Amino acid sequence: MKFEELGVKTEIVKALNEMGIVEPTDIQAKAIPIIKAGKDLIGMSKTGSGKTAAFGAPILEKISPGNGLQVLIMGPTRELAIQISQEMQKFGKYLQCRIATVYGGVAIGPQMRQIEQADIVVGTPGRLLDHLQRGTINLSKIACLVLDEADKMVEMGFIEDITRIISQTPSDRQMLLFGATISSEVDYLKRKFMHNPEIAKAEAQVEEEYLKQYYYNVLPNEKFSLLVHLLKKEQIGQAIIFCSTRSTVEIVAKNLHTNGIKAEMTHGKLSQNRRQRVLDDFNKGNPNILVASAVAARGLDIKYVTHIFNFDLSHDPQEYIHRIGRTARAGESGKAITLLSQKDHDAFNSILRSHNLKIDLLPKEDFPSISFRARSAPQQYSKFGGRFERSKNNYGRGRFGRFGYRAGQEN
């Protein structure tokens, strides 16, 4: 199928083709006709499935340039808002739409001026609410409202802000809600604000043909040594190392630098300018290793990642899917490697119970001991402090079956 067969406007098809987007993905093929028909939509698909084009292409067709603000798109993070705006600008290259991007952490004045001229506003809930309270944005003519990564926005505590913002839009506007899952809070938004929404659901699981998943059983004091060993051993194009907290991100990044491995880091407490610069540089492959918290796991268009390393795990099983969704994209192969110590077992069990995944145990191998020092770490990270010595124990003992964990067998 081609985009022309979905009735997408010629100018948008031309722009998509120039971006190398010729055939619609599953979610695009399912969502675009529903959106073009003016119906409310709940779109569910995996990370990297082309959700932005799924709502962006049909939305751009509906815009009457210069007639005021007609479309509002909300996303959970600054990075995602910027990415959506950039993609929409590319899709609308041959149209005359004006897009304003609003998010916190930067001066609000320039955003006010952009909003005055905008046909489309893309923003984060907190800053959008700020503009509403200041009276610098008027949502009375909104014809289409999009919540992208709605489940993540709810998870981050934006449900009240989102509700207040939606309440300022016309009741007869079209509403599009995209996310990986539908929680009770997201279901509340659907029931309260949507009009008989149709469902467009694409395959949510990873493709085993392209993504290989592995794990190691490892003692806590061996984790960093094994990570360094794997970074040097694997044929890495680009790699993301995911950590569950900002503190761990900083500790791991610092120790990689100490051991001569060039890596950058990103997490929610960095300034917006630095986070954007880090992501831009990483997309260019300089450096080719990124240490990240969950802020990089959702929604962002990070291309050409060959390896995902889970230094530790989140207690949210869905977060694992979002992490590994950063690799094996657009038909390219990828590898996800998880380093499990005792404290990760409960989280790993939850992942295996929630998702039908094939994650293979890799056998014990020798690797040198690496010094790993924590920087004024909180109490819960004290185990990372000091110099760790290579254990003689066999961390490869114990195993996970294909779909479950046989507990109590790690040293």
In this prediction, residue 375 carries a pLDDT of 59
Assign 395 a pLDDT band (cuts: 50, 70, 90): very low
In this prediction, residue 228 carries a pLDDT of 96
Please report the sign of the dihedral spanned by the C-alpha atoms of residue 266, residue 271, residue 272, residue 278: negative
Residue 204 has pLDDT above 70, yes or no: no
Two tokens, residue 249: 């991100």
In this prediction, residue 402 carries a pLDDT of 30
CATH class of the domain whose range is 211-384: alpha beta
How high is the mean pLDDT of the chain?
86
CA distances from 93 to 11, 60, 68, 82, 411 (A): 8, 10, 19, 16, 58
CATH number of 3-201, picked from 3.60.20.10, 3.40.50.2300, 3.40.640.10, 3.40.50.300: 3.40.50.300
Cβ–Cβ under 8 Å, residues 215 and 264: no
Digit-coded pLDDT (tens) for 377-391: 443 333 333 333 333
Share of the chain above pLDDT 70, in %: 87
Share of the chain above pLDDT 90, in %: 63
In this prediction, residue 405 carries a pLDDT of 30
Domains 3-201 and 211-384 share a fold: yes
What would the 3-class secondary structure string for the chain be? CCHHHHCCCHHHHHHHHHCCCCCCCHHHHHHHHHHHCCCCEEEECCCCCCHHHHHHHHHHHHCCCCCCCCEEEECCCHHHHHHHHHHHHHHCCCCCCCEEEECCCCCCHHHHHHHHHCCEEEECHHHHHHHHHHCCCCCCCCCEEEECCHHHHHHCCCHHHHHHHHCCCCCCCEEEEEECCCCHHHHHHHHHHCCCCEEEECCCCCCCCCEEEEEEECCHHHHHHHHHHHHHHCCCCCEEEECCCHHHHHHHHHHHHHCCCCCEEECCCCCHHHHHHHHHHHHCCCCCEEEECHHHCCCCCCCCCCEEEECCCCCCHHHHHHHHCCCCCCCCCEEEEEEECHHHHHHHHHHHHHCCCCEEECCCCCCCCCCCCCCCCCHHHHHHCCCCCCCCCCCCCCCECCCCECCCCCC
In this prediction, residue 299 carries a pLDDT of 58
Cβ–Cβ under 8 Å, residues 386 and 371: no
Residue 400 has pLDDT above 50, yes or no: no
In this prediction, residue 330 carries a pLDDT of 65
Whole-angstrom distance, CA of residue 15 vs CA of residue 12: 5
In this prediction, residue 347 carries a pLDDT of 93
Digit-coded pLDDT (tens) for 241-298: 999 999 999 999 999 999 999 999 999 888 878 888 898 899 889 999 999 998 766 6
CA distances from 391 to 237, 366, 368, 383, 409 (A): 30, 10, 10, 15, 17
Lowest mean pLDDT among 172-181, 196-205, 238-247: 196-205
Please report the sign of the dihedral spanned by the C-alpha atoms of residue 65, residue 66, residue 68, residue 74: positive
In this prediction, residue 101 carries a pLDDT of 97
- Any idea where the domains of the chain sit in the sequence? 3-201, 211-384
Most confident of 16-25, 338-347, 378-387: 338-347
In this prediction, residue 130 carries a pLDDT of 96
Residue 340 has pLDDT above 90, yes or no: yes
Digit-coded pLDDT (tens) for 75-107: 999 989 999 999 999 999 999 999 999 999 899
In this prediction, residue 55 carries a pLDDT of 97
Residue 40 has pLDDT above 80, yes or no: yes
